[in-house]
Amino acid sequence: MTENVLSQARDWGFLCHWEPNGTWQILPQQNNQRWKLQLEGGRWLLIVGNVPQVSLPPHEAIAFLELRRPCTERGNS
C-alpha cells in the first residue's frame, strides 16, 4: 500500500523523497507550504511546521493529497 501512496503522489506532482534514516517523505511542490507526510510503520504521519499532527492510514493519506494537488490537475482525474 505504501507504493500506491507514493505512486499517486508522484502522479499528482508531489515530491517523494527517501530519507537517509530509511523513511519516505512526501512534500508539496511549493516551498511556502509547511506540511509533509512521512511514512512511519505503515502509516503516514502528517507534519505541519515540523510538528507532528496526525497519523493517517494509506487511503486517508491519498485523500489528503488529493485535496492538495495542483488545481490544474483536479479536472483530469
**pLDDT digits 0-9 by tens, 42-73:** 999 999 999 999 999 999 999 999 999 876 54
Q: Please state, in angstroms and as integers, the Cα–Cα distance from residue 16 to each residue in 13, 24, 50, 75, following that order.
A: 9, 7, 17, 23
Residue scoring higher pLDDT (25 or 75): 25
| Mean pLDDT, the chain, whole residue set | 90
**pLDDT digits 0-9 by tens, 9-45:** 999 999 999 989 889 999 998 888 999 999 999 999 9
CB atoms within 10 A of CB 7: 12
DSSP letter assigned to residue 74: H
